[in-house]
Amino acid sequence: MKSLAYLAGLAALTLAFTTVTFAANKNQANFTLSSAAKVGSTDLQPGDYKAEWKAESGNSVKVDILRHGKTVATVEGKLKDLPANMTHDAVVFNNNQIDEIDFGSRKQAVVFGE
């Protein structure tokens, strides 16, 4: 009987951690730059990055850009609703400045400089 209660408790704890993990990952996504670019006033080199954002007010967000787990840039942005889920990641540039990051399987993009 004790082992059954222990097993049920362990299953509930595992479910709770899984739920927290999925909730925590809601406002983050990965993207790759194939060439050097600028976000805000920070120069980014080609490579893999992660964007993590926190809602501020309305659709305004504060975006941390991370590389190898370290924040390399923090910029203000906005969430933009897209007509459908993206099928792949895409970074939109204007003169080597990142204007927008679209994330695969999401219906929102992060837009900078608006």
Structural domain boundaries of the chain? Answer: 28-112
- Amino acid 45 reads Q
Look at residue 21 and tell me whether its pLDDT is greater than 80.
no
Q: Residue 42's pLDDT is what?
A: 96
Is pTM, for the whole model, over 0.85?
no
| Cβ contact 64:52 at 8 Å | yes
The string of pLDDT tens digits covering residues 43-86 is 999 999 999 999 998 889 999 999 999 999 999 999 999 998 88
